[in-house]
Homo-oligomer: A and B are copies of this chain.
Amino acid sequence: MAEPLKHPLAPEERVGYALVGIGKLAEEEILPALEASKRSRLAALVTSDLEDGKRLARRYGLPPEAVYGYDDYDRLADNPGVHAVYIILPNHLHEDYTVRAARMGKHVLCEKPMANSVAEGERMIAACRAAGVKLMIAYRCQYEPHHWAVREMVQQGRLGAVKLVESVHCQVESDPGEWRLKRKEAGGGPLVDIGVYSLNTIRFVLGLEPVEVFAQTYATPDDPRFREVEEQMGWQMRFGNGVLAACLTGYSAFRSSRYRLYAEGGWVGLDPAFDYRGLRLSLGREEGGQQVVEERRFPAPNQFALELDHFARCIQEDLTPFTPGEEGLQDLRLVEALYASARTGRPVRLEAPDKPDAFRGERP
């Protein structure tokens, strides 16, 4: 990863973001991340509760007129301090809000999963391209130093060729009313919400795409949470070079997130891997006949700030983001293949591009 800016830019030199959707993530993570960022600043809030939005705005030094209702979303076009929108809405709304932002000439940072179908994702890409605005999917892990350290170790072959990969991402969702459990809104269950981290990060670390996938799902009968979406999924992926990956995700197991790559000369991985903070990288190897297990500790800047600042730099310097819409679209293709496999009980074969990092842009 490139060295970050040593000093923050002055407020007026930064990229102004409108946050679209003020839930827990926006309030607890994104607003503080904007304070910690170096190239980004809060420029507007879009929310269903104007009063609450104004209270929040006041706390972050934003004038009340920078708070918009959803009905007024298109009025962002007139706010020149807003250079980009950050869409933090339920998945089924991503397409509409992206397309409308593009029409306003605003760049779009969109939460993962990009959308609920490949078709939606393709329309988002097309709309942004047509409008000449940038589109980035918020794959936080691809902008974070622990994950980059794993990727570099792997791609430089420091542990020899990777052979096997495992990953788990699970957590307990206890409220049956949660939008994440509604097929129409979420587009799927734990796979699209949290399993996608395993999917995306393995692709990122290897720089490769799977050529065959297989999935099994399960939902406890009569559990009101899992009427529309799977409770859990186990899936496998085979890559062109023979690497086999085994992944698990679920909504009824204790919050855990990890991955590990097993190579000829050692293993390396993160646990926790996908949390907002506290990531840990460990590594197993041999030295002089002894087994060594080591942890490498990194300075750990705010992950959201890194992500926001990458997109800000891409806007300022006219670069393609490292995780553009195409990167998100590839995950959607895989998600569709995994659900198809689970439904049919058969593996699904996929075309893989013939070069590494086929869907990625400028290195962060």
Contacts and interface: CB of A to CB of B under 8 A. Distances in A.
Contacts of A297: 278, 290-293
A26 to B, nearest CB: 13
Contacts of A260: 168
A67 to B, nearest CB: 14
Given A35-B36, A166-B166, 13 more contacts: A11-B61, A164-B170, A166-B246, A214-B214, A235-B236, A244-B248, A253-B262, A254-B265, A254-B284, A277-B300, A290-B296, A291-B296, A291-B297
A330 interface: no
B246 A247 contact: yes
16 contacts: A149-B290, A164-B168, A164-B248, A164-B253, A166-B168, A216-B238, A234-B236, A234-B244, A234-B246, A254-B262, A254-B267, A256-B284, A290-B296, A292-B295, A292-B296, A346-B346
A105 interface: no
Given A232-B163, A242-B218, A297-B291, A262 B277 contact: no
Interface in A231-268: 231-236, 238, 242, 244-248, 250, 252-254, 256, 260, 262-267
Interface stretch (A2-10, A80-88, A319-327): A2-10
A179 interface: no
Most central of A218, A253, A277 by chain B CB within 10 Å: A253
Contacts of A92: none
- For the complex formed by this chain, how many copies does it contain in all? 4
A242 B220 contact: yes
A164 B247 CA distance: 10
Closest 5 CB pairs of A and B: A294-B294, A234-B244, A246-B246, A253-B262, A163-B253
Q: Is chain A's binding surface mostly helix, strand, loop or mixed?
A: strand
Nearest to A217: B244
Interface string A196-238: 0000000000000000101010111000000000011111101
A69 interface: no
Interface residues of A, number: 74
A59 interface: yes
Contact of A159 (B212, B220, B245, B254): B254
Interface in A172-203: 172
A347 interface: yes
Nearest to A251: B163
A22 B272 CA distance: 36
A290 to B, nearest CB: 5
Nearest to A233: B244
Contacts of A244: 216, 218, 232-234, 248, 250
A360 interface: no
Interface string A1-36: 000000111110000000000000000000010011
Contacts of A9: 59
A192 to B, nearest CB: 17
A355 interface: no
A263 B254 contact: yes
B250 A262 contact: yes
B163 A252 contact: yes
Most central of A212, A250, A263 by chain B CB within 10 Å: A250
